[in-house]
Each structure stands twice: as C-alpha cells, then as structure tokens.
C-alpha cells in the first residue's frame, strides 16, 4: 500500500466515524434546546462554546427566529453577558437588556433580532465551564415577563444535560478533525480521494469501522456512563490505529 493510500484510508475511516457520531449529537442538542425553550416559555435558545484558539465564544447551536443567522457568530473573549457567565461560572438573568451594560448588542445588530430579556447559564462538565446556555425573550408579544427563580433552577437542570451532549460533541469533532488535518497539511489532490473511495468503502476494515461507529452512536444515547465509555473507545482507537503511520 502506498503512503497516499494509507493516508486516504485513515482520513476516510476517521471522517466516517466522526460524521456518524456528530450528526445524532447535533440533533440531540437541537432537540434539547427546543424542549427546554418550550418549557421555559422562551422564544429562542442557544449554546455558545469557546474557541480554543481565540478564546471567543461562538454559537454552536440555536433555535428561534434567527437561529440560522446565529450559528457560527462570535462574541469576543470576555465580552457580553455570555462572556461574564463563562468566566465567572455564575448564572445571570436580565429583565431588561437595555439597562444592562454587559449586554453585547452587536449580535442583535447583525441578526436584526430585538433581545429584551435574557437568561444565561454556564454549561459545566465535571466542574469545568465549557460553554453558555442562553434563553431569550418569551413566546408571544412583548412586554415580556422576566425569567423567574423557578425557571432559573430549571435552566440549571437543562444545562447539565446539554453540557454532557456538548462535551461529547466537541470530543467527537476533535476526533473527526484529525482526519481532516491530514488533507489540510498534505498536498493531496481531493480528486484522488474519489478514485480510492469505492475500494476503501468496500474493504472489510472499513465495514468494521462503520459498525463501530454505529455502536458508539447508539451508546451515546443512553446516558453519562455510556458516553464515558464512548470517550474511552475513541481514545483507544486513536492509540491503536495507524495514526503514527500517517505521519
């Protein structure tokens, strides 16, 4: 097998596992946001996570009127209510964002949305803050009633569930990016990938990797213990795969 073939095989197997796992996780995060927003009578909900390179927070997932516009938008490091909640690890409810100096209005300017009330809760996984869960406005027409203390407690409960999903999603995405980095850092013509695709996908090794991806995907649906097992599986795959041969 040539060096190029080895690289392509590793890339495709890694990407397939990553895609098979991130797709259901993304859907799970979206559904959790929808269910929790409905429960809290919020018009929209979103998850922000930290960019490790810039320390900015960016919208990983959102629901509501401007969900599509929000995805990928950034809040500069340390800015906004989300920045405060992320750095302090403290929940924050705002009854009128116009009176809150910490509110980062640039997001509203770019999306055309009119945020009036806001509830931001840290996403914590094993005592580490990994993101921020936000709920904005209410269903129906303004003026909106502020979020209550009971709703703040419910948001904390939802944050625990969503934090677990986000942590798993980020771990799997990192795993997938290992394969993408091979293409990024090597001068490989992507047309070559297509020429090898059929043979690689029909190989016994590839079928085994696909079956493993399905198993891991099913395990992630069951609970924290199973998701922990999935993380261990990913580590084992990376340790004992042909990763060292790629480089």
pLDDT surpassing 50 at residue 242: no
What pTM was estimated for this model as a whole? 0.67
Total structural domains within the chain: 2
The verdict on 47 and 141 lying in the same domain is yes
What's the pLDDT tens digit per position in 140-158? 899 999 999 999 999 999 9
The verdict on 58 and 15 lying in the same domain is no
- 30 within a domain of the structure (yes/no): no
Q: Could you tell me the pLDDT band of residue 168, with boundaries at 50, 70 and 90?
A: confident
pLDDT at 244: 41
Q: Order of strands, edge to edge, in the sheet holding 74-75?
A: 74-75, 57-63, 44-50, 128-136, 118-125, 92-94
Q: Which H or E element spans position 131?
A: strand 128-136
Alpha carbons within 13 A on the beta-carbon side of 199: 10
- 158 within a domain of the structure (yes/no): no
* Helix, strand, coil share (%) of the chain residues, nearest 5: 60, 15, 25
What's the pLDDT tens digit per position in 26-35? 888 888 899 9
- 163 within a domain of the structure (yes/no): no
* CA proximity to 167, closest of 13, 69, 28, 73: 28
- 51 within a domain of the structure (yes/no): yes
Owning domain of residue 96: 42-146
Report d(CA 242, CA 79) in Å as an integer: 42
């Amino acid at each position: 097998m040539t060096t190029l073939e080895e690289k392509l095989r590793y890339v495709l197997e890694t990407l397939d596992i990553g895609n098979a796992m991130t797709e259901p996780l993304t859907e799970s995060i979206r559904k959790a946001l929808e269910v929790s927003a409905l429960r809290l009578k919020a018009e929209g909900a979103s998850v922000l996570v930290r960019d490790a390179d810039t320390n900015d927070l960016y919208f990983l997932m959102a629901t509501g009127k401007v969900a599509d516009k929000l995805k990928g938008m950034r809040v500069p490091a340390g800015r906004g209510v989300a920045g405060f909640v992320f750095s302090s690890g403290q929940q924050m409810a705002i009854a009128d964002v116009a009176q809150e100096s910490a509110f980062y209005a640039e997001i509203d300017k770019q999306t055309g949305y009119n945020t009036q009330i806001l509830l931001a809760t840290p996403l914590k996984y094993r005592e580490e803050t990994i993101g921020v869960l936000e709920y904005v406005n209410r269903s129906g027409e303004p003026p909106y009633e502020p979020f209550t203390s009971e709703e703040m407690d419910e948001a904390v409960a939802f944050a625990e569930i969503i934090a677990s999903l986000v942590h798993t999603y980020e771990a799997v995405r990192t795993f997938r990016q290992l394969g993408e980095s091979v293409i990024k850092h090597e001068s490989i013509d992507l047309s070559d990938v297509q020429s090898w695709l059929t043979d690689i996908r029909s190989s016994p090794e590839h079928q085994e990797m696909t079956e493993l991806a399905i198993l891991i995907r099913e395990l992630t649906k069951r609970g924290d213990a199973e998701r922990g097992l999935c993380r261990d599986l990913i580590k084992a795959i990376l340790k004992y795969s042909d990763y060292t041969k790629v480089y």
